[in-house]
A and B are shown apart, each in its own frame.
Chain A
Amino acid sequence: MTLLTTMLQRPLDPGYAAAADRREAQGRPRSTSLRSPLLVVATVLIGLVVGVASYNLTTGNKPRSQARADLITQIEDRRTQVDTLTARASALQAQLTALEAAQLGDDSLTTRNRELSTAVGAVPLHGPGFTLTLDDAPGSGADDTTDEGAQDQQGQVFAKDLQFVTNALWRSGAEAISINGKRLTSTSAIRFAGSAIIVDYRPLTRPYVITALGDPKGFPAAFADGPGGTYLSTLRSTFGIRVDTEVSDDLGVPAAVGLTTRYAHSGDTEDSGASPGSTRSPTPTSTSTSTRSPS
């Protein structure tokens, strides 16, 4: 501990005392003048070091924040682009559907086609139904802008919650569902990526508005009495998640964007009896990545 003792008990450079003793022995004052040019140069130099360092160390973040701003601008640009193209795609799809209907006439095949299009979400639908608005609990860390550091994740809506609610909606007889204006199809996936909820590879922002169309008589009651209603009330009472339900006579869901036809090949015969996939009754695939389970 010699080093620490020396450091703590004699913090002053011993050179000062030695120089003072030497000067005293020569008959000069113990302290030199404060006006020597050497001292002036040295102090200016020290000041310069401090000034330069403070300038360089405090403004060092500038390029980084600049890059960050650039990236944000790029993200916003791209998002606008995607929105424009999505709108264009759905407009073209609507046009296509109309032309198809005009060309095909009105036979049994067309009727079946129309039914199937409704089921897979290829056409926009209007009708009675209700909207469910889910939002994070007040002050659950999502309200402040410091992302990642969500201190209290308990009050956040998870992808799992949306999965459960949409599955419960299908189960209680929903004919079409959209979340935040995105139509769910039989191949839609609700996933978690970081702290964002992803529906069909597009991130959603709060609040989550689920629009469900269905028979106005039985459907809302069936949902409220079923597991979905229980789940939502648990979310509300246990985690403080805000849930609003609003029944309406005329709601609309858009057509799903980017529907593709897939062909299923039977495994045992070489004969490839091509048949369109995704015609089964709509049940969203669910991939659960969250761990919380309201009991």
Chain B
Amino acid sequence: MIPAIGLSLGIIIGLLLQPAVPVWLQPYLPIAVIAALDAVFGGVRAILDGIFDDKVFVVSFLSNVVVAAFIVFLGDKLGVGSQLSTGVVVVLGVRIFSNVAAIRRHLFDA
């Protein structure tokens, strides 16, 4: 319950403050969102599996964001544009789907 409240609190703060993100940071936003979602669904699944660990959760989120941002940055510098970001989206997307499927099995036994 507390993590859910924290999550909503963060979203509300973000929407209310409306901080302007500098232009150079904007390409990283979608990737950051997907990395965050991946960490959240992984965490939820771990809770349901009964093996949740807060340190692992935080570290997985941070490393997700850092690695994803680095790949986007690298793709930009290498001149392959958004193609490396597509790789990030595919990998994290597949993980999100699998984790959501596991959560679904836990919740609905289906």
Contact = CB atoms under 8 A, between A and B. Distances in A.
Contacts of A41: 6
A22 to B, nearest CB: 9
Contacts of B1: 34
A34 B6 contact: no
A16 B6 contact: no
Interface in A221-273: none
A53 B33 contact: yes
Chain B interface residue number, banded: 35 or more
Nearest to B53: A19
Chain A interface residue number, banded: 35 or more
Contacts, number: 159
B45 to A, nearest CB: 6
Contacts of A52: 14, 17, 19, 21, 29
B79 interface: no
Contacts of B91: 7
Contact of B7 (A13, A34, A46, A54): A46
A12 B49 contact: yes
Contact of B51 (A20, A44, A51): A20
Interface of B: 1-4, 6-15, 17-21, 26, 29-30, 32-33, 36-37, 39-40, 42, 45-47, 49-61, 65, 91, 94-95, 97-99, 102
Given A16-B46, A36-B54, 19 more contacts: A7-B98, A11-B99, A13-B60, A16-B42, A19-B53, A19-B55, A19-B56, A20-B51, A31-B51, A38-B54, A39-B54, A42-B57, A43-B3, A45-B61, A49-B65, A50-B7, A50-B37, A51-B11, A55-B18
